[in-house]
Amino acid sequence: MITGATEGVGRATAVALGRQGFRVVLAARDAGKAQAVEREIAAAGGPQADHVVVDLASLRDVRALADTFRRRYPRLDVLINNAGVFLPRRTETADGFETSYQVNYLSHFLLTHLLMDALEKSTQGRIINLSSSVYAVGRFDVRNLQSEKSFSVLGTYAASKLFMLMFTRELARRLGGTRVTANALHPGIVRTRMMLRAPGAFRLLSYLSLPFSISPARGARAAVHLASSPELAGVSGHYFTRSRRTETRNVSDTAENRARLWELSLASLQERGASALRQAG
């Protein structure tokens, strides 16, 4: 399953994995766009793909996505948490969370928990979380977790990508000794619509970086490698830049903060009716 599978890296990843013989489930907001990707996968010689319409700005939609998947399929081999937004101002979802926090991080945290049973039925379940190199300037500040006190375009986005990295490492720790692995990746500077439509001054920076950017197809190679490479069986808790394992540096990314973020995330979901969540580990 791939979230955000109708554009950019998500779409390219779906097509590439379909070409390798994976049956891909596209989690997307737009059914028409998802059907177009299904046709692209079929044209590439892949097995019939499937889609489920979901808006990650809705926790109800996330629960419905997991329920639909479990009804249709006996197991999940790979979960790629790819979807994300890059917003010019602070907004909140109907669930009461800052939008970037929920879409980029919290809904994927919830989805991963809800699909853990399906992942454990695989001979080697893999969770792949899309982070970004901007995690390095993200901050974990419990007083400003959702930009309540201070919003900045880059700071809020970077924090959400830091949270995905911290979540990955804490999840990998809790999954130790099981057949399920969790890794995070930065796909590179990819020419996507989100990049070229970045808000404010960041759009200019995006265009300036075009000479150093790569296509979505090349950006997808890392996720495809993490999803399919036999040599990565059992590899967990790492961060990859493109397809290379990379050391990370952020003062907020500590064992204590990872556990704290996990507990805060669970608590906020439980307050909104997700009390039946099963905790990994």
Residue pair 156/105 in contact by the 8 Å Cβ criterion: no
DSSP characters over the chain:
-EESTTSHHHHHHHHHHHHTT---EEEES-HHHHHHHHHHHHHTTPPPPEEEE--TT-HHHHHHHHHHHHHH-S--SEEEE------SS--B-TTSSBHHIIIIIIHHHHHHHHTHHHHHTSSS-EEEEE--GGGGG----TTSTTSSS---HHHHHHHHHHHHHHHHHHHHHHTTTSS-EEEEEE--SB--HHHHT-STHHHHHHHHTGGG-B-HHHHTHHHHHHHH-GGGTT--S-EEETTEE-----TT--HHHHHHHHHHHHHHHHHTT-TTPPPP-
Catalytic residue status for 157: yes
Residue pair 59/125 in contact by the 8 Å Cβ criterion: no
| Selected catalytic residue, list 101, 105, 135, 157 | 157
Q: In which region does residue 147 sit, left (phi positive, over 0), alpha (psi from -120 to 50) or beta (all else)?
A: left
Q: Which residues are catalytic?
A: 157
